[in-house]
Structure 1
Amino acid sequence: MLELQHVTRVFGPTRAVDDVSFLVPKGSVFGYIGPNGAGKTTSMRILATLELPTSGDAFVEGLSSVNDPDRVRRRLGFMPDHFSTYSDTSCAEYLDFFARSNGLVGRERTRRMRWVMDFTGLRAMAEKPINGLSKGMRQRLCLGRALIHDPSVLILDEPAAGLDPRARIELRQIIRSLAAEGKTILVSSHILSELAEICDRVGIIEQGRLLANDTVSALRMKSQFHQDLIILIDGPTDGALDSLSQLPCVSDVRCTDQTISFRVEGGPSKQIQVLHHLCDARVPVMEYRVVDESLEDLFMKLTSGHVQ
């Protein structure tokens, strides 16, 4: 449904997007994450036909955004990170303008406006001036504009930026509802914990290069070569600390009361070896568990913090 094929975008000496390829299947949510200046917005603008790639191509439902932009736009809704409004314009007038711009007429235009306002919760705000809306309602209005022509693909650039907790939760529910209806969604956000909850896959980009493209659980599995663990000891911890110090695969050992945290290098087999070693040394281990890594943890592991 949505694909980048070896897309590169160069601005002078800067390669904003550097040979990026990924595919988003129909009805799925793809989280696109990276630091500011990583190339997220540029590649999203290329998909949305607002930017031409230096090389490569982007496709929506098999149509090239470079060679067939008009047909792509009919299938795609784009929600930018910042959008302009018109002074003294109500929500209904704003949506009506974009419905007409997308060629909707008569009953079809009325039907789509009614559906969008109901779906985004803007019905009570229909006659309210846009300038009087809260940040959350303005984001809903921008999403409504992207949905007005019933696109099969949505590109959402930082839709949750500046929203309060309730508005973020409601937006997350809206995104999952749209995916359940079969729409394909590409969403970027700096709120990684929320992306982990709604995304089927994530792509991590830094300095224009795609570093990872997988499910969150698969990324966790790949990162287990360096895994943090915690053990709880019944009694003094001296024996456990001595045993752990004998293992070259163990590092970063920290002890607080009867709890010891440490890092194991070498994957699951080494983690099993550590447990056997502690048992052989008759260390009274009450609990032995892996520290679950969040998407933020994976992001920090995979990226270096460099910007262009």
Structure 2
Amino acid sequence: MIEVINFTKHYGDFTAVDDLSFSIGEGEIFGFIGPNGAGKSTTIRFLATLLRPTSGEGRIAGHSVTDDPMAVRRVIGFMPDDFGVYDGMKVWEFLDFFAVAYEIPRGVRRRIIGEVLELLDLSHKRDDYVNGLSKGMKQRLCLAKTLVHDPPVLILDEPASGLDPRARLEMKALLMELRRMGKTILVSSHILSELADFCTSIGVIERGRLLAAGSIRDIQRQIRAHRVLKVELTEGPTDRAVAILQDDPAIRSVEAFGQSVTAEFHGVDEDMGRLLGRLMAAGVPVRSFAEEPLSLEEVFMMITKGIVN
């Protein structure tokens, strides 16, 4: 649904984005992450048809970003990282304004606005003035206006920026619901732990270059040579579990702390099943047995160098 092909953007002698390429499949939530100044917003503005590239191309739902921007605008909903609202305008009037801009007929606008307000849990704010809304409600309203024309692709630049913890959780729930409705979503954010909860894939950018892209699990395996197993016991000493793990050819090192045993694992998935079977057969009281993945924060710190343009 979204393709970026060798996108480059220069501002004079300064290169904001350098030969960037990635793709996002239909129905995915793609987390676009990177430090400040990495080129995220430049790329997002290009995809939203607000910025001409120095070179390269983009395609959304089959439409060229550079050659057919009006077709792209019909199939995307764009939420910028900073937006304003109009004084003296009510919530429904704000949405009606954008519905008119998208040439939605008068006869269906009222129904569409009602549906969008209900989806975003804003029905009770329908007749409130937009400049009197809280930060969280304004964020919801901005997301609502991106949905009035029912676009299949959403491009959201820091949608949870400045929100309190409850409002961030509500925003995450909304994005997950929109994916269930079939939307393809590109979302940038600095709140990495929340992206890990609901993104199907991520792209990591630094100094205008893409460092990694794909599912979080695939990227974890690319940057860490081994996997880590964590075994939690219900009771008793860990001696038997440690001895069994140390004796296995798929294990390189083992550490025990309290009722937990952590092992460096160099095998395949079938070896995990075999190891668990050995522990159970030996009567080790296993409470949980699982691979311990890297967190998205750890992935980010291992990939990036902390350098900004």
Where on the TM-score scale, by shorter chain, does this alignment land: which range? 0.7 to 0.9
Instruction: Give the Cα–Cα distance (whole angstroms) in 1 for the partners of residues 115 and 96 of structure 2.
Output: 12
1:7 deviates by 0.5
Structure 2: distance between partners of 1:28 and 1:229: 29
Give the conservation status (yes or no) of the 8 Å contact 1:76–1:151: yes
From the superposition, tell whether residues 152 and 258 of structure 1 become closer, same or farther in structure 2 (CA, over 3 Å).
Answer: closer
* Counterparts of residues 162-181 of structure 1 (less than 5 Å): 162-181=162-181
Give 1:154's aligned amino acid: L
SS at match of 2:85: coil
**3-state DSSP class of the match of 1:175?**
helix
Partners of 1:3 and 1:23 within 8 A in 2: yes
Q: 1:227-248, CA deviations, whole angstroms, 9 ceiling, x for partnerless residues?
A: 677799x99x9xx9xxx9xxxx
1:112 and 2:138 matched: no
Question: How big is each residue's C-alpha offset from its partner over 1:233-282, in whole Å with a ceiling of 9 and x where there is no partner?
Answer: x99x9xx9xxx9xxxxx99x999889898989xx559xx9xxxxxxxxxx
Identical pairs, percent: 45
Partner of 1:81: 81
Gaps of 5+ in 1: 245-249, 273-284
CA distance in 1, matches of 2:285, 2:115: 56
State the alpha-carbon separation in 1 of the partners of residues 262 and 306 from structure 2.
26
Cα 1:10/1:130, change in 2 over 3 Å: same
Are positions 1:295 and 2:296 aligned together? Answer: yes
In structure 1, how many angstroms separate the alpha carbons of the residues matched to 2:307 and 2:285? 42
Matched residue of 1:36: which SS?
Answer: coil
- CA distance in structure 1 between the partners assigned to 2:255 and 2:89 by the alignment: 60
Give the Cα–Cα distance (whole angstroms) in 2 for the partners of residues 47 and 128 of structure 1: 33
The offset of 1:107, in angstroms, is 2.0
Instruction: Say if 1:231 and 1:286, in contact at 8 Å, map to a contact too.
Output: no
Alignment pair present for 1:54 and 2:54: yes
Give 5+ residue unaligned stretches, structure 2: 247-251, 272-283
Distance 2:121 2:193 in 1: 25
Equivalent residue for 1:211?
A: 211
SS of residue in 2 equivalent to 1:168: helix
Asked whether 1:184 is paired with 2:184, we answer yes
Q: In 2, distance between residues paired with 1:16 and 1:92?
A: 38
Note the C-alpha offset of 1:175.
Answer: 0.9
TM (norm. structure 2) is 0.82
Q: Tell me, what secondary structure is at the counterpart of 2:19?
A: strand
Residue 247 of structure 1 corresponds to none
Partner of 2:137: 137
Take 2:128 and 2:39, find their aligned partners in 1: how far apart are those partners? 36
Number of aligned residues: 289
Secondary structure of the corresponding residue to residue 225 of structure 1: coil
Runs of at least 4 residues off by over 4 Å = 226-232, 253-264, 285-291
| In structure 2, distance between residues paired with 1:96 and 1:259 | 57
Q: Which moved more, 1:15-24 or 1:217-226?
A: 217-226
Aligned equivalents of 2:8, 2:105: Cα separation in 1: 39
TM-score (norm 1): 0.82
Preserved contact between residue 224 and residue 268 of structure 1 (Cα < 8 Å): no
Alpha-carbon deviations, 1:166-204, whole Å to 9, x = none? 211221111111111111110011111111111111011
Which residue identity is paired with 1:195?
L
**Equivalent residue, structure 2, for 1:45:** 45
